Amino acid sequence: MPSDQKAAAREVFDVWSTGELDRLDDLVAPDVVHHDPYDPNSSNGLEGMKRTIEANREAFPDMRLIVEDQVAEGNKVVTRWRGEMTHLGELAGAPPTGNRITIGGITIDRFENGKIVEAWRSMDMLGLFRAIEPK
């Protein structure tokens, strides 16, 4: 099962890169719980996750998330990832800068019945906000 869970976690990262939100319905539970202090939609389950991805893709339409490492044990998958993108839309009130950005992060997904039911996300928000500062 851990290898299937790793593949499912990778597929979620692919959705962030492609914007194909309907694919999440097969991967993430409707009442998923997110632990991300920077995500204003984190308490709104799968629909909140979709809104967050949409908002990020509006700010960074060329967003590409690359899985660098994964470790699975029991019902959890830990993924270390890198995001590469260009700031072409407004984000948190910051106007588009055209700046190219690379950030890193770690996500822990907990699975039940083949779907993600809980997730913890930590990423370099300071680096992100510094990168979108107008020069």
Backbone phi and psi for residue 75, each to the nearest 5 degrees, phi listed first? -105, 20
Q: Which amino acid type is present at position 56?
A: N
Taken in order of first residue, the domains within the chain and their CATH numbers are 2-131 (3.10.450.50)
Instruction: Give the residues across from 120 on adjacent strands.
Output: 35, 108
User: Which residues, other chains included, contact 81 with Cβ-Cβ below 8 Å and sequence gap of 6+?
Assistant: 13, 65, 66, 67, 68, 104, 105, 106, 107
Render pLDDT for 56-98 as a digit per residue (tens, 0 to 9): 999 999 999 999 999 999 999 999 999 999 999 998 888 999 9
User: Which residues, other chains included, contact 68 with Cβ-Cβ below 8 Å and sequence gap of 6+?
Assistant: 80, 81, 82
From the CB of residue 59, how many other CB atoms can be counted at a distance below 10 Å? Answer: 19
Reported as type and span, the H/E element at residue 12 is helix 2-18
Q: What is the mean pLDDT of the segment spanning 103-111?
A: 97
| CA 63 – CA 128 distance, rounded (Å) | 13
Entry pTM: 0.92
